[in-house]
């Protein structure tokens, strides 16, 4: 029997990206994925130093990593604020309805996003579900709010680098998205 829980925030990590088709719906709910390489290869000494500092802090009951970091309450407040911003509408003098995307996602950028997603689908067979498109919009808005006050900018599209569902897609997107955006 399933037990419902009130989920506020979820980050997950795995040693391998699951390839089972039975997990496709679950993977789709994790909109962005990041590949992480072993630190030991490039930063061996830094790994040892950081590991020792972490162990020492833990053994002494210290939490230096928690200083200056957003709390869960901070994240929930930001989520509520952005949810309210994205749900707002206003009616102009001519009766037209202005939505979040009219104020914060310029029409040219919306077309550019559509073009990028179609390119990824057509050229590389990267599947982006309807659910993921909506989540991606919200993530782009959150990134733009955090980094530069709200309006989505073309550089925000670097988030598309993390849309892949497999290791191969993530590696492809890591290189392709910056090229498509003209950032390299």
Q: Give the percent of the chain with pLDDT over 70.
A: 98
Q: Which domain holds residue 51?
A: 37-67
The pLDDT, as a whole number, for residue 184 is 82
Distance from the first to the final alpha carbon of the chain: 51
- Please tell me whether residues 74 and 165 are part of one structural domain: yes
For residue 164, give both structure tokens: 């892949």
**Contact criterion met (CB below 8 Å) for 166 and 19:** yes
> Quick count: other Cβ atoms within 10 Å of Cβ 183?
11
The overall average pLDDT reported for the chain is 88
Are both 143 and 161 inside the same structural domain? yes
For residue 133, what pLDDT is reported? 94
- Please say whether the beta carbons of 114 and 161 come within 8 A: no
In a domain, 26, yes or no: no
Q: Work out the angle at residue 10's Cα, subtended by the Cα atoms of residues 7 and 14, and round it to the nearest 5 degrees.
A: 140
pTM value is: 0.78
Per-residue b or e along 153-180, where b marks 16 or more CB atoms closer than 10 Å to that residue's CB? eeebbebbbbbbbeeebbebbeebbeeb
Together in a domain, 136 and 168: yes
- The one-character DSSP state at 164 is -
> Tell me: the pLDDT tens digits for 132-155?
999 999 999 999 999 998 899 999
- Asked if residue 173 and residue 106 are part of one domain, the reply reads yes
Tokens of 40: 């030991």
Predicted pLDDT at 58: 87
11 occurs within a structural domain = no
Q: Is 90 helix (H, G, I), strand (E, B) or coil?
A: strand
Domain count, the chain: 2
pLDDT at site 110 = 95
Domain assignment present for 93: no
Same domain, yes or no, for 124 and 146? yes
Q: Are residues 42 and 80 in the same domain?
A: no
Query: Tens of pLDDT along 51-97?
Result: 899 899 889 988 776 667 788 899 899 999 999 999 988 888 888 88
Q: Are residues 56 and 105 in the same domain?
A: no
Q: What's the average model confidence in pLDDT over 40-47?
A: 83
Instruction: Let me know: does 163 contact 172? Beta carbons within 8 Å.
Output: no
Query: Higher-confidence residue: 42 or 59?
Result: 59
| Averaged pLDDT for residues 163-182 | 92
107 in any annotated domain: yes
Same domain for 55 and 109? no
């Amino acid at each position: 029997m399933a037990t419902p829980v009130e989920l506020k925030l979820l980050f997950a990590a795995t040693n391998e990206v699951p390839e089972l088709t039975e997990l496709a719906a679950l993977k789709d709910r994790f909109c962005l994925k990041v590949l992480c390489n072993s630190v030991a290869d490039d930063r061996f000494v830094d790994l040892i130093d950081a590991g020792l500092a972490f162990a020492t802090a833990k053994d002494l009951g210290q939490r230096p990593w928690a200083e200056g970091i957003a709390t869960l309450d901070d994240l929930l407040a930001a989520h509520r604020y952005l949810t309210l911003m994205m749900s707002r509408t206003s009616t102009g003098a001519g009766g037209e309805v202005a939505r979040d995307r009219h104020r914060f996602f310029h029409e040219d950028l919306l077309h550019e996003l559509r073009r990028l997603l179609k390119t990824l689908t057509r050229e590389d067979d990267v599947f982006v579900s309807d659910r993921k498109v909506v989540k991606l919009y919200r993530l782009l808005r959150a990134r733009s709010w955090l980094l530069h006050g709200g309006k989505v900018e073309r550089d925000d599209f670097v988030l598309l680098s993390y849309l892949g569902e497999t290791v191969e897609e993530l590696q492809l997107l890591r290189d392709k998205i910056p090229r498509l955006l003209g950032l390299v």
